[in-house]
Amino acid sequence: MAAKLGNLEVGLETVAQTAQRLGIRTEIPRFPAMPIGSPDVIPLQMAEAYAALAAMGTRTQSSPIMQVVSADGQVIWEPVPERSQALDPLSARVMLSLMEDVVQRGTGYNGVRNVAGLPFDIPAAGKTGTTNDATDVWFAGTTPSLQALVWFGMDQPQRIHSQATGGGFAAPVWGEFMRQVYVGDLFADEASDNGESPHPILPRPEPWPMDGLVTREVDNRTGLLASQWCPADRRYMEVYVPGTEPAEPCDDSATGAPSLRWPW
């Protein structure tokens, strides 16, 4: 679907320029496979790009130095964040909703929620990634208050493991890190042995706001409005930028077969 959208609906040049606005500074060849992630990109740039989605489209250029401090604790220098609006805030929020689905029911669900045990009441969103031949796997994830990216790979590309995937390898590491930040129980047994109580580093964040978006109950095969003429088990709630929501009801009653229409 991403390849079809990038090549036939949106255009490769638009995809590449959007990625650059979000913070990707490495070369992006305009090849048909580019929309599904064929360009090589360093992890720091990926983290910066995904952070812009989490910040409702506002890009903040990353810095490897947080502060320069003198021997007596005085702050000598710290970077001034450079911010720019890279995406429309509502469009960014819809993308973030898709990334929430990755953690709630998609390729990152098992690693983040089950293996790592990040509680369901901690809002999280992310994207798994696995390259050809399992040479690189990653998980770019965010909560409303913290962004982090986990990457496994080699300086000279080679297969990590025959079964390596972003969801199986990187997502659990991200989930354990976030659990330690918000729950503080990663080393609970050690703390108990020492007579200590584990404490979270940050308070649990509130969910991302949905202000300005509209929701509709739609059919998961056609993308059209759910109706009495389509199976009830295909209904789900979706979010839209106002004016882009479907207006036509789903109707499979005429043929008894799934519709292939899509409201583009």
Tell me which amino acid residue 155 is.
D
- Tell the residue number behind the tokens 């050690």, with chain if given: 190
DSSP alpha helix (H) spans, 32-187: 43-54, 89-104, 109, 171-182
Q: Which helix (H) or strand (E) covers residue 20, if one does?
A: helix 12-22
Return the pLDDT at 190: 56
- SS3 for 189? helix
User: Which backbone phi and psi does 139 adopt, to 5 degrees?
Assistant: -140, 115
Return the pLDDT at 104: 95
Asked whether the beta carbons of 229 and 251 are under 8 A apart, the reply is yes
- Strands (E) across 118-199 are located at 125-130, 136-142, 147-153
Q: Which fold has domain 42-62+82-193?
A: Beta-lactamase (3.40.710)
Domain boundaries, the chain: 42-62+82-193, 213-264
Return the pLDDT at 195: 57
Average pLDDT of adjacent 10-residue blocks, the chain of 264 residues: 93 95 93 90 92 94 90 94 93 96 96 96 95 91 96 91 93 96 72 64 94 95 92 93 95 54 40
Asked whether the beta carbons of 115 and 150 are under 8 A apart, the reply is no
CA proximity to 140, closest of 195, 114, 102: 102
- Confirm whether pTM is higher than 0.95: no
DSSP alpha helix (H) spans, 141-239: 171-182, 188-193
213: left (phi over 0), alpha (psi -120 to 50) or beta: beta
